[in-house]
Chains A and B, each alone.
Chain A
Amino acid sequence: MIGIFKSMYITFATMLRTPVTIEYPAKHRDVPQRDRAFPILLWDKEVDEPFCTGCHACERACPVECMTVTMKDNPLHADEKSTRRKIVDEFWIDYGRCMRCNICVEVCNFEAIAMNNTWAGHELSKFDRNDLVLDLQQLLSQHKQDKIDAWVAE
Chain B
Amino acid sequence: MLALTYDVGNIWLDSLLGVLALVALMTVSALMLIWLERKISARIQMRLGPMRVGPYGLLQTAADALKLIGKEDLRPKTANRWVFELAPFAVFVPTFAALVTIPFTRDWAIAFLDLGLFYVVAVTGLAFVGFLMAGWASDNKYALLGGMRAAAQLISYEVPMVVTLVAVAMVAGSLNLSEIVLFQNRIPLFVWQPLGFFIFIVAALAELERQPFDIPTAESEVVGGPFIEYSGIRWSMFFLASYTSLLIYSLLGSIVFLGGWEWPLGTEAGLWLQILLILVKTSLFIAFFMWVRFALVRLRIDQLMSYCWKVLIPLAFLQVFLNGLVLVYGWPDGFLLLTSGAGLALAMYIIYRAVDTEPRELRMVPARGGGSSAQAATVDATGSG
Residues on A lying within 8 angstroms of B by beta carbon are: 1-4, 7-8, 10-12, 14-15, 17-23
Contact = CB atoms under 8 A, between A and B. Distances in A.
Interface string B43-66: 111111001100000000000000
A139 to B, nearest CB: 34
B295 A7 contact: yes
B42 interface: yes
Given A3-B357, A8-B292, A21 B44 contact: no
Nearest to B212: A4
A27 to B, nearest CB: 11
A21 B292 contact: no
A11 B42 contact: no
Grouping DSSP codes into helix (H, G, I), strand (E, B) and loop, the A interface class, with mixed when no group exceeds half, is: helix
Given A2-B357, A4-B295, 20 more contacts: A1-B351, A3-B357, A7-B295, A7-B296, A11-B44, A11-B291, A11-B294, A14-B43, A15-B40, A17-B46, A18-B46, A19-B42, A19-B43, A19-B47, A20-B46, A20-B47, A21-B47, A21-B48, A22-B48, A23-B52
A112 to B, nearest CB: 42
Contacts of A2: 352, 357
Nearest to A16: B43
Interface string B340-362: 00000000100110000100000
Interface in B9-51: 40, 42-48, 51
Contacts of A1: 348, 351-352
A13 to B, nearest CB: 10
Interface string B284-299: 0000000110111000
Interface residues of B, number: 19
Contacts of B51: 23
Contacts of A18: 46
A14 B44 CA distance: 6
Interface in B277-314: 291-292, 294-296
A7 B44 CA distance: 11
Contacts of B296: 4, 7
Contact of A14 (B45, B52, B352, B357): B45
A19 B348 contact: no
B46 A21 contact: yes
B3 to A, nearest CB: 38
Contacts of A22: 48
Which 9 A-B residue pairs are closest in the complex by CB-CB distance?
A11-B295, A15-B43, A7-B295, A1-B348, A21-B47, A11-B44, A8-B295, A19-B48, A20-B46
A143 B52 CA distance: 34
Contacts of B42: 19
A139 B305 CA distance: 64
B285 to A, nearest CB: 15
B50 to A, nearest CB: 10
Contacts of A14: 43-46
Contacts of A8: 291-292, 295
6 contacts: A4-B296, A10-B295, A19-B43, A19-B48, A20-B47, A23-B52
Which of B45, B291, B295, B351 has the most A CB atoms < 10 Å from its CB? B295
A29 to B, nearest CB: 14
B321 to A, nearest CB: 24
A4 B175 CA distance: 34
Given A3-B357, A7-B296, A23-B52, A15 B44 contact: yes
Contacts of A15: 40, 43-44
A10 B45 CA distance: 11
Contacts of A12: 44, 291
A23 B48 contact: yes
Contacts of B47: 19-21
Contacts of B352: 1-2
A37 B47 CA distance: 26
Contacts of B294: 11
A59 to B, nearest CB: 44
A22 B42 CA distance: 12
Contacts of B348: 1
A22 B52 CA distance: 12
Nearest to B288: A8
Contacts of B52: 23
A26 B216 CA distance: 38
A19 B41 CA distance: 12
Contact of A19 (B46, B292, B295, B357): B46
Which of B46, B291, B292, B294 has the most A CB atoms < 10 Å from its CB? B46
Nearest to B351: A1
Contacts of A23: 48, 51-52
Contacts of B351: 1
